Amino acid sequence: MLSAPEIKKLEETANNIREDIIKMLVEAGSGHSAGPLGMEDIFTALYFQILNIDPKNPNMPDRDRLVLSNGHICPVLYATMAHRGFFPISELNSLRKLGSRLQGHPHREALLGLETTSGPLGSGLSQACGMALAGRLDNAKWRVYALLSDGEHDEGNTWEAIMFAGKYKLHNLTALVDRNNIQIDGFTEDVMPLDDLKKKYEAFNWHVLEIDGHNIQAIIDAFGEAETIFERPTVIIAHTIPGKGVDFMEGHFEWHGSPPGTIQPVGAPAKGQQAKIALAELRTLGGKIKSEHE
- Give the tens place of pLDDT for each residue, 50-76: 999 999 999 999 999 999 999 999 999
287: pLDDT strictly greater than 80:
no
> Band of the pLDDT at 285, cuts 50, 70, 90?
confident
Q: What is the mean pLDDT of residues 146-150?
A: 98
User: pLDDT tens digits for 216-253?
Assistant: 999 999 999 999 999 999 999 999 999 999 999 999 99
Domain spans of the chain?
35-245
CA distances to 16, 29, 278 from 26, rounded to whole Å, are 16, 5, 11
User: pLDDT tens digits for 74-99?
Assistant: 999 999 999 999 999 999 999 999 99
CA distance 66 to 206: 19
- What b/e readout covers 26-50, taking b as 16+ CB neighbours within 10 angstroms? bbbeebbbbbbbbbbbbbbbbbbeb
User: What's the angle, vertex CA 14, arms to CA 182 and CA 34, rounded to 5?
Assistant: 20
User: pLDDT tens digits for 1-41?
Assistant: 899 999 999 999 999 999 999 999 999 999 999 999 999 99
Q: What is the mean pLDDT of residues 192-203?
A: 97
294: pLDDT strictly greater than 60:
no
The pLDDT of residue 22 is: 98
DSSP state of 179: E
User: pLDDT tens digits for 99-132?
Assistant: 999 999 999 999 999 999 997 899 999 999 999 9
Alpha helices, H only, the chain: 4-28, 34-45, 74-84, 124-137, 156-167, 188-191, 197-203, 216-226, 271-283
Phi then psi for residue 239, to 5 deg, are: -80, 115
The pLDDT of residue 120 is: 84
Note whether 261 and 203 are within 8 A (CB): no
Neighbour-count burial of 5, counting CB atoms closer than 10 A to its CB (0-12 exposed, 13-18 middle, 19+ buried):
exposed
The pLDDT of residue 288 is: 67
| Of the options 3.40.50.970, 3.40.190.10, 3.20.20.450, 3.40.50.150, the CATH number for the domain spanning 35-245 | 3.40.50.970
291: pLDDT strictly greater than 70:
no
> Band of the pLDDT at 293, cuts 50, 70, 90?
very low
| Residues 6 or more apart whose Cβ sits within 8 Å of residue 154 | 122, 183, 191, 192
Q: Is 178 helix (H, G, I), strand (E, B) or coil?
A: strand
User: pLDDT tens digits for 253-268?
Assistant: 999 999 999 999 999 9
Q: What percent of the chain lies above the pLDDT cut of 70? A: 97
> Band of the pLDDT at 150, cuts 50, 70, 90?
very high
